[in-house]
Amino acid sequence: MIIESESPSNIALVKYWGKHGLQLPLNPSVSFTLEKAKSITKVEWVDSETFGFNFSFEGGAKPSFEPKLQKFFERISELAPELEHAHLKIDSSNTFPHSSGIASSASAFSALAIAIAEGLRVKRGEQDIDITLASKMARLGSGSACRSVFPKLGFWGEHKDVKGSSNHFAIDVSAYMHPVFQTYRDTILLVDEGVKSVSSTAGHALMEKHVFRKNRIDQAFDNAQQMMNILSKGELNDFVDLVEREALTLHALMMSAQQPYLLMRPGTVAIIEEVRAFRRDTETPVCFTLDAGANVHLLYPENVEQKVNTWVNEVLSAYCNKRYLCDQVGNGPRWKSSV
Ligand code: DP6
């Protein structure tokens, strides 16, 4: 059987930061699913006596990815017992440059989990793919990946005010989205294309004994609920405030950890200042967010795209060596299989 899948990356509005047990989040998170920054994965699934896999990235061997994949397959073995008798030949590629500093684990594990869920569908003779199962498996590869299996807006983490939410998988909350957010734009300014000095996984671990741990968890529960409210009502000013607060809190948590570290670069800070000045001077509802790195995501509505593009070209591109990607909220993953 051959399965082809593609899945986009996502950008969190309320950040997942800290985990426990087997990839369970300390707090709920919500993200826009992107459109263009995606991973494309092909899996050849062959029946075999014992489980095995080969992995190649953009056509070449990638031994450095293998331990992470090995761990992923161990973790999903209970959810996908059929894999005990499968050999998988996996080839993956990204639409964005590998060295761009974009977290590729979300799109990569989402695409792979979807391919496996599709394989399981075929093996089990089922009509529809079990997308919740795909999300569960994706989470076991990389937490944020579980939100990428859904179009537009994914919510992960149990929250009493969000029906159906769970720590084990993300849910599709795009039905609650005001139209203005459904075509939201994301320009990703590549401030630093190197490997991050501290990985997300190490950053999550530092939340365990963080002096602000409890306050952060309480705040994130609150922010997740507020964000859902803002997203459904289409309140752009509140969106700007909350998204930027979340981004700065994430980095403040890194800077105030027991082993403090700093992922923002001078360009990151300069862009943040420019965004605030531009918003004040032009009343354009553009805001910034950051993932666990130096790059800046600019989020803004479709109707100001032209204006933002001109400003990015004329002003912001100087801070990122003219390296940026234009993305937007997207329709989620795709997959197909042939036997
Ligand atoms: C800051 O999902 O990359 O982007 O579960 O260890 O693979 P692992 O971490 P990862 O962490 C993402 C952190 C974040 C916030 C977010 O996407 O919610």
> Angle at CA 303, nearest 5°, toward 302 and 307?
100
- How many Cα atoms sit within 13 Å of 267 on the Cβ side? 19
What does the pLDDT read at residue 103? 65
Place of tokens 């933002």: 308
Instruction: Please give the pLDDT value at position 97.
Output: 77
Q: Which atom of ligand 1 is least distant from the CA of 105?
A: 3
| Non-local CB neighbours of 242 within 8 Å, separated by 6+ positions | 13, 14, 223, 226, 227, 230
Q: Is the dihedral of CA 309, 313, 314, 319 positive or negative?
A: positive
Predicted local distance difference test score (pLDDT) of residue 100 = 65
**For ligand 1, atom 6: residue with the closest CA:** 201
Distance (angstroms) between ligand 1 centre and the Cα of 314 equals 32
pLDDT in tens, 140-156: 999 999 999 999 999 99
Is the C-beta atom of 221 inside 6 A of ligand 1?
no
SS (H, E, C) the chain: CEEEEEEEEEEEEECCCCEECCCEECCCEEEEEEEEEEEEEEEEEEECCCCEEEEEECCEECHHHHHHHHHHHHHHCCCCHHHHHEEEEEEEEECCCHHHCCCCHHHHHHHHHHHHHHHHHHHCCCCCCCHHHHHHHHHHHCHHHHHCCCCCEEEECCCCCCCCCCCCCEEECHHHCCHHHHCCEEEEECCCCCCCCCCHHHHHHCCCCCCCHHHHHHHHHHHHHHHHHHHHHCCHHHHHHHHHHHHHHHHHHHHCCCCCCCCCCHHHHHHHHHHHHHHHHHCCCCEEEECCCCCEEEEECHHHHHHHHHHHHHCHHHHHCCCEEEEEECCCCEEEEEC
Beta carbon of 136 within 6 Å of any ligand 1 atom: no
Q: Is 292 in the pocket of ligand 1 (CB under 6 A)?
A: yes
Ranges of residues in the chain with a pLDDT under 70 are: 98-101, 103
Q: Is the CB of 189 under 6 A from ligand 1?
A: no
Residue 314 sits at φ, ψ, to 5 deg, of: -80, -30
pLDDT for residue 193 = 81
pTM metric for this prediction: 0.97
Give the closest residue (by CA) to ligand 1 atom 3: 200
List the residue whose alpha carbon is closest to atom 5 of ligand 1. 143
Residues 172, 141: Cα–Cα separation, whole Å? 19
pLDDT at residue 101 in the model? 65
For the Cβ of 246 lying below 6 angstroms from any atom of ligand 1, the answer is no
